[in-house]
């Protein structure tokens, strides 16, 4: 490699490294007002995970996990992700997860987060898996990395399934929510049968009362998609509810359900959500 190429490559690496360190510093600022443990900037992204685990009183594993794991619904499989994949994913995961109030995570009874690669559930490739039986959230560090917005939504979508389950012990039934749907509408056969449809998560107004096709597959997916997009893409949801009364009613009910589950999911929380800078 010529000297010019070497210098160009090195400068690009330094720039990317600088942006990453800036992101870690910003995550530190998020915690500065509420968590004394975040008084100093971490030296590496794995230190960031340790601090998050400490603040939320959970375990976050990137290695040493016991896989496969079997629960009542199927087999969870995966393998450790490479360091480069983990570093990139931590930069995306940390600002999203630290939006949550400590009280919300405590109420969710979440004990651990496992960040891995090649995640499978029952032989089907997955981006994330909420394991209710073991109070664990599994996240794939690389699948979908070409679309950071999608990966962010996955975090919130799957975490909401945990909240939804604990809310009333039901996941696949919510009569109050279903009654908001257009007359004659019936949900599909669940998200499990839409995993391979590349278009299922794309936001669209083609389905009045729903954010996308995936939302129509089950009441549990409808709610989880709305929660995820309220956090990652609130501007889109706000535009849609101006002309979609069904979707507007669902947003209102969602806010009511969330406040009942955790009182800290209040106006201040949603203000913080709207002002999260994801440009880095």
For 69, list phi and psi in degrees, rounded to 5. -125, 135
Confidence of residue 280 (pLDDT cuts 50, 70, 90): low
What the block records as the tokens of 83 is 């360091």
Eight-class DSSP state of 172? S
pLDDT of residue 88: 95
Name which residue leads in pLDDT, 183 or 191: 183
CB 276 within 8 A of CB 92: no
Name which residue leads in pLDDT, 7 or 79: 79
Token pair 């909420």: residue: 130
Rounded Cα gap, residues 243 and 256, in angstroms: 21
Rounded Cα gap, residues 194 and 189, in angstroms: 9
Q: pLDDT tens across 234-258, in order?
A: 999 999 999 999 999 999 999 999 9
Q: For 11-274, CATH number?
A: 3.40.390
CB 93 within 8 A of CB 278: no
Q: pLDDT tens across 24-73, in order?
A: 444 554 454 444 343 344 458 899 999 999 999 999 999 988 899 999 88
pLDDT of residue 135: 96
| Cβ count near 262 (within 10 Å) | 18
pTM here is 0.83
Rounded Cα gap, residues 161 and 130, in angstroms: 7
Burial 223-254 (b: 16+ CB within 10 A, else e): bbbbbbbbbbbeeebeebbeebeebbbbbebb
Omega prior to 68 cis, within 30 of 0: yes
**How many residues in the chain?**
280
pLDDT of residue 200: 81
Dihedral in degrees, nearest 10, Cα atoms 257, 260, 265, 266: 100
Q: pLDDT tens across 109-131, in order?
A: 999 999 999 999 999 999 999 99
Cα Rg of the chain (Å, integer): 19
| Cβ count near 23 (within 10 Å) | 20
Q: Of all residues in the chain, what percent carry a pLDDT higher than 90?
A: 74
For 5, list phi and psi in degrees, rounded to 5. -65, -40
pLDDT of residue 201: 84
Rounded Cα gap, residues 176 and 268, in angstroms: 27
For 130, list phi and psi in degrees, rounded to 5. -90, 115
pLDDT of residue 9: 42
**Beta bridge mates, 74:** 71
Question: Dihedral sign, CA of 231, 233, 238, 241?
Answer: negative
């Amino acid at each position: 490699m010529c000297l010019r190429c070497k210098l160009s490559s090195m400068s690009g690496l330094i720039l990317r490294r600088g942006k990453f360190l800036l992101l870690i510093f910003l995550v530190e600022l998020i915690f500065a007002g509420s968590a004394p443990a975040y008084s100093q900037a971490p030296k590496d992204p794995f230190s960031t995970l340790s601090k998050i685990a400490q603040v939320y009183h959970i375990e976050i594993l990137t290695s040493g996990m016991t896989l496969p794991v079997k629960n009542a619904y199927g087999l969870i499989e995966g393998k450790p992700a490479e360091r480069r994949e983990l570093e990139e994913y931590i930069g995306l995961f940390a600002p999203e997860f630290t939006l949550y109030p400590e009280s919300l995570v405590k109420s969710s009874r979440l004990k651990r987060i496992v960040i891995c690669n090649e995640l499978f559930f029952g032989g089907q490739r997955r981006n994330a898996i909420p394991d209710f039986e073991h109070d664990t959230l599994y996240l794939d560090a690389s699948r979908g990395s070409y679309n950071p917005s999608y990966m962010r939504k996955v975090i919130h979508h799957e975490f909401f399934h945990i909240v939804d389950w604990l809310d009333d012990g039901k996941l696949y039934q919510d009569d109050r929510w279903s009654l908001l749907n257009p007359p004659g509408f019936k949900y599909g056969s669940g998200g499990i049968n839409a995993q391979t449809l590349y278009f299922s998560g794309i936001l669209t107004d083609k389905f009045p009362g729903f954010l996308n096709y995936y939302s129509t597959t089950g009441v549990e997916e409808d709610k989880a998609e709305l929660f995820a997009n309220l956090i990652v893409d609130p501007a889109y949801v706000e535009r849609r509810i101006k002309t979609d009364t069904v979707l507007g009613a669902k947003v209102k009910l969602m806010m009511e359900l969330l406040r009942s589950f955790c009182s800290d999911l209040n106006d201040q929380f949603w203000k913080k959500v709207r002002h999260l800078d994801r440009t880095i």
